[in-house]
A and B are shown apart, each in its own frame.
Chain A
């Protein structure tokens, strides 16, 4: 069974750094793209970027380029999303999602990580 398990909720102050994780299991971690999706409170889904853990090829949405860093450690089947300096506007739920088995749609989703940034 494909599973994506994300790290727990975080409460941070503006200016702090943060790295959240998404651990894949039940499949070949290096063979499928994993993307990150933001959902601000009461809002829709926004694609942030995507990584291919096999060779760490990473692409970003223009809206998030330079704002976050996506990485992966294939030795522990884990993808990451990180910020160097959080803002209050980064408060949101963040989902990781794996490419589907039959195409490039996000077929499998993690449970989400709630990030709250407040002074």
Chain B
């Protein structure tokens, strides 16, 4: 079973600053890694798939990088609507979907 570990658990950032979120896989998942944003009371929303491809309608301030076991989601300049919980998810070990435990991005 692949384990996904996200860090940090909570990230305190001021609006306009850059946020960098990390995700590590216990074994290689190639580029089969996605990122999701979840706001309170809402379903998760796909941001990134294939480790670095933005989903339709996702602003360019969101970018993903990495391959193998180490991945990063970067939000270049945080907007008020970006404060949320972010999850990484591997789909290399198909048909299993494995999620990280989440990183909460909060206002500093």
Contacts and interface: CB of A to CB of B under 8 A. Distances in A.
A103 B46 CA distance: 13
B44 A103 contact: no
A36 to B, nearest CB: 10
A105 to B, nearest CB: 4
Contacts of B91: 103-105
Contacts of B45: 109
Q: How large is the interface on A (under 10, 10 to 19, 20 to 34, 35 or more residues)?
A: 20 to 34
* Chain B contact surface mostly: loop
Interface string A30-72: 0001010100000011110010000000010110000000000
Contacts of B98: 47
A45 B87 contact: yes
B98 to A, nearest CB: 7
A47 B97 CA distance: 6
Nearest to B41: A112
B97 A103 contact: no
Interface string B26-59: 0000001010100000011110011001010000
Nearest to B45: A109
A29 interface: no
Interface of B: 1, 32, 34, 36, 43-46, 49-50, 53, 55, 87, 89, 91, 94-102
20 contacts: A37-B99, A44-B99, A44-B101, A44-B102, A50-B95, A50-B97, A59-B95, A61-B96, A97-B44, A100-B34, A102-B50, A102-B53, A105-B32, A105-B97, A106-B44, A107-B49, A109-B43, A109-B45, A110-B43, A111-B43
